[in-house]
Each structure stands twice: as structure tokens, then as C-alpha cells.
């Protein structure tokens, strides 16, 4: 639904919302890492609770409910995320990932323990027995990181219950053969695929922002830890201390106070002076999408991206917690999607309805032939800089 299928409101005043530039040449230190067991489940499984979820979940040991209190089996992606989070608290080690079936509107939960099936089915989810636990797949994933080369992306795929390894077209000859052989040596716990184009950071997102001749996209307006207004964009867009304008050659509207790339890919720009900074995303049809909260990505979730080069495009989340190796270094914990993007879209907004989901990082392909795009999670960026959505 490229264009205006999202709910929008009339745009009344010019304002800054989201863009990509040439990546920096020097690597920056990375301090933000995902470590909690709950986050490992959420990311590896492909399901986490969304901020705006309102779905009431029955506990595994609950007594049967009356018909009018029964948990629905047709769920939104937000309801599926909350259900998955609750099941984790009840069943923990029996779970081996999960994903959202958007066509059926159901949460599919992978299990390695048959005794947990009834609890999953009573909750309203679909139970699916699989071969590998999350711990086993995590070990496989760690082995992939030892032989991955620039142009490689790898993640736990809950749909296939494997570690999926992808390489772009820059991986050729002996390097390609070595990766293929290494994946094959992992047996049926790993799968291999090639994709067109080159995995690289995109430089631009929603409304365009400019710095030293480079262009990126504004992701989401935020309130910083000190209470001042600012916005998030991609870390590869610039260095800490760089200044940014809302037009080429224009007066600075803010300065980048934190930037992380590679390892992570986010940056915070703090506004200077008075700037109209609404919590909304440009839909490029004369309307905007209000952003009311931040959420985690769900495998199978329909999403949209706004960027200053290509405008509004849609797609589906295909993987979460993806490691992607760019020429400048590896970025961990990204969201992989079928949404296209092009240079100038970096830093731009990935969202679903009113939920902020990610910041455009990089990928391969374009919006003519299609491609793969990776996004850095907004929730991770917000936590790292101590900011909140307005």
C-alpha cells in the first residue's frame, strides 16, 4: 500500500519528521547491547509485546472462561506480541520462538516440549512442535558469526526453526564457497540464501535533514533526558558534534549529541532554538501519521517506511535480531523487512499504525526492483539515549 492506506490527519503546518547520507569512515564505539533472557526470547522468537497492546491473556493454569470471556484466536500484531510475552512468563524453556501469521491473524508458537501444547492452545495461539530450542539455535548463530564476511546477514528464523544466513552479491568466489560450506556443515539447523544488490547503509527517511553536503532522514521526534526536544536518526548519518539543517545550505536546527555506528545504528540530534517538532510521520500525500508510542517488531507484521528519497512504502517484517555485516562493520539486533529503500532514506521512520518501530539503517536493492531493508529498533535507541517520544 504505497501511498495513503495508513490513517492520516490533515497536515496543518510545515514540520520536521524523517532521510540517508554517505556513511562515516571511522568506526564508533558501541555501548548498547541486548542481554536479558526475555529480550533473547523476544528477538530470536520474532515476537515481543507492543506498548499499545490491550489483549487480555489467560494464564496457563487458569480455569475455563465463559464463552463471552474467551480469548479470540484472531489477533492484531500488537495482541500477538502481548500474548507471546505472557506465554514466555508461563512456559519459558518449553518455547522455541514464535511468529505472527498476518493472513490468518494468529500467533504461531514453536515448542520443544509437548506438555506445553495445551497451555498454548488454551491461550488462543497455535502450537507447533519443532526440532531446535532457542539455546541450540543461539549456539548455531554464534558459530555463524565466526565465519561471516562483509555482505552477510544472519538471524534465528522462527518460521523455519533454523538460523538463516544470507549473503549479498558482493560475496563471490572463494569467500562465497567458504560461507556455503560452513553453513552446510551446520546441518539442517541452518539455511543459506543469496540476495541481489549489496548490504550497505542508506543515506536519507521522512523529512530530509542535511549536514556538510550529506542528506539523511529524520526518524522520530523525541524528548531528551534533559527535557529538551530532539530527534532520532541513523548513526551512520554523522558524527557526534555534527550540525544539521532542514534544507541544503540552511541554518543549523540542531547538533548531533550521540551517534553509534557500527555495532548499533542510531543517533540523537538536539534541536537549537524553537522548532515545530510534532510526534508524527510524513505520509507524502498531504497527510501525516500521528505517533503515540514505541513498539517492538514482530515477524510477519505489516509495516510502513517514510523516507525523503522514496516517500512512503510498505512491506512485512521477515526477521528480528538480525546481524548484518556492512563494509563499515557489523550492526547487531536489526529488523529485516521486505520494505524497499534507497540512498537518502537512512534514519527514516519504520512504523505500524501509531507505533514507532525502527530507524532505516541499510540494505540492498531499490524501490524499482524491490529489495531487503534493515532497521535499528526504536526502543533500543530510546533506551540508549534516555529519550522518550513526545
Catalytic residues: 236, 265, 346
3-state secondary structure of 46: coil
Closest to 333 in 3D by CA, of 388, 266, 287, 282:
266
**Residue 47, H or E segment:** none
Q: Quick check: 154 and 144 in contact, CB under 8 A?
A: yes
Alpha-helix runs per DSSP H in 116-272: 117-122, 134-147, 173-184
What φ, ψ does residue 226 adopt, rounded to 5°? -95, 5
Dist CA 214 CA 232 (whole Å): 17
DSSP code per residue over 57-100: ---TTPPPPPGGGPPPSS--HHHHHHHHHHHHHHHGGGEEEEEE
Instruction: At 233, give phi and psi (nearest 5°).
Output: -150, -170
**Distance in angstroms (rounded) separating the CA atoms of residues 78 and 107:** 11
The alpha carbon torsion through 244, 250, 251, 257 (nearest 10 deg) reads 0
Amino acid at each position: 500500500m504505497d501511498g495513503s492506506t495508513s490513517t492520516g490527519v490533515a497536515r496543518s503546518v510545515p514540520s520536521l519528521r524523517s532521510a540517508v547520507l554517505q556513511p562515516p569512515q571511522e568506526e564508533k564505539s558501541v555501548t548498547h547491547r541486548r542481554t536479558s533472557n526475555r529480550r533473547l526470547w523476544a528477538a530470536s522468537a520474532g515476537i515481543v509485546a507492543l506498548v499499545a497492546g490491550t489483549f487480555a491473556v489467560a494464564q496457563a493454569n487458569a480455569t475455563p472462561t465463559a464463552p463471552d470471556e474467551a480469548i479470540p484466536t484472531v489477533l492484531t500484531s500488537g495482541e500477538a506480541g502481548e500474548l507471546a510475552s505472557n506465554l514466555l512468563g508461563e512456559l519459558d524453556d518449553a518455547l522455541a520462538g514464535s511468529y505472527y501469521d498476518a493472513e490468518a491473524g494468529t500467533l504461531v508458537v514453536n515448542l520443544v516440549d509437548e506438555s506445553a501444547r495445551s497451555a498454548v492452545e488454551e491461550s488462543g495461539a497455535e502450537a507447533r512442535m519443532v526440532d531446535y530450542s532457542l539455546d541450540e539455535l543461539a549456539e548455531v548463530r554464534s558459530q555463524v558469526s565466526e565465519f561471516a564476511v562483509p555482505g552477510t546477514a544472519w538471524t534465528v528464523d522462527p518460521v523455519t526453526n533454523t538460523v538463516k544466513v544470507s549473503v549479498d552479491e558482493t560475496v563471490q568466489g572463494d569467500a562465497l564457497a567458504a560461507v556455503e560450506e560452513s553453513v552446510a556443515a551446520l546441518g539442517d539447523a541452518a539455511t543459506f540464501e543469496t540476495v541481489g544488490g549489496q548490504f550497505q547503509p542508506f543515506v536519507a527517511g521522512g523529512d530530509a535533514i542535511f549536514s556538510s553536503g550529506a542528506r539523511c532522514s529524520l526518524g522520530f521526534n523525541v524528548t531528551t533526558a534533559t527535557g529538551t526536544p530532539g530527534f532520532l536518526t541513523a548513526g551512520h548519518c554523522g558524527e557526534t558534534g555534527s550540525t544539521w539543517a532542514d534544507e541544503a545550505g540552511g541554518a543549523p536546527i540542531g547538533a548531533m549529541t550521540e551517534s553509534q555506528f557500527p555495532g548499533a545504528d542510531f543517533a540523537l540530534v538536539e534541536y537549537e532554538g524553537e522548532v515545530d517538532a510534532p510526534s508524527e510521520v510524513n505520509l507524502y500525500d498531504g497527510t501525516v501519521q500521528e505517533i503515540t508510542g514505541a513498539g517492538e517488531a514482530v515477524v510477519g507484521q505489516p509495516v510502513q517506511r517514510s523516507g525523503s528519497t522514496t516517500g512512503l512504502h510498505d512491506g512485512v517484517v521477515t526477521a528480528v535480531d538480525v546481524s548484518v555485516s556492512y563494509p563499515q562493520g557489523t550492526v547487531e539486533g536489526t529488523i529485516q523487512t521486505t520494505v524497499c529503500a534507497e540512498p537518502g532514506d537512512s534514519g527514516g521512520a519504520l512504523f505500524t499504525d501509531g507505533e514507532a518501530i525502527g530507524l532505516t539503517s541499510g540494505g540492498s536493492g531499490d524501490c524499482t526492483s524491490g529489495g531487503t531493508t534493515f532497521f535499528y529498533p526504536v526502543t533500543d535507541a530510546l533506551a540508549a539515549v534516555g529519550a522518550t517520544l513526545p
